[in-house]
Amino acid sequence: MSKKSKRQANRPASASASLSGRAEFNPDYSIVKRELKRIGVLAGTFIIILIVLALFQNQILALFLK
């Protein structure tokens, strides 16, 4: 059996210079932040509604069970 040799990719000097000249990856997360705020507001609203319903559940059930 022969050993497989790993080939190393040798880049020329001009290729490495062109890579450093590129603009850096700088994503814009403003849409994600806006969506997370919206999700937080909705979750908070639902939790408050559930708390209010839990506090007044006896009165609400009495209205429907008459």
Domain limits, the chain = 29-66
Nearest to 63 by CA among 53, 32, 47: 53
Distance from C-alpha of 55 to C-alpha of 58, rounded to nearest angstrom: 8
Q: What pTM, to 2 d.p., does this model score? A: 0.55
How far is residue 66's CA from residue 57's CA, in Å, rounded to a whole number?
14
Q: Are 50 and 56 in contact (CB under 8 A)?
A: no
Token couple for 30: 């403003």
- Condensed to tens digits (0 to 9), the pLDDT of residues 8-55 reads 656 555 555 555 667 899 999 999 999 999 999 999 999 999 999 999
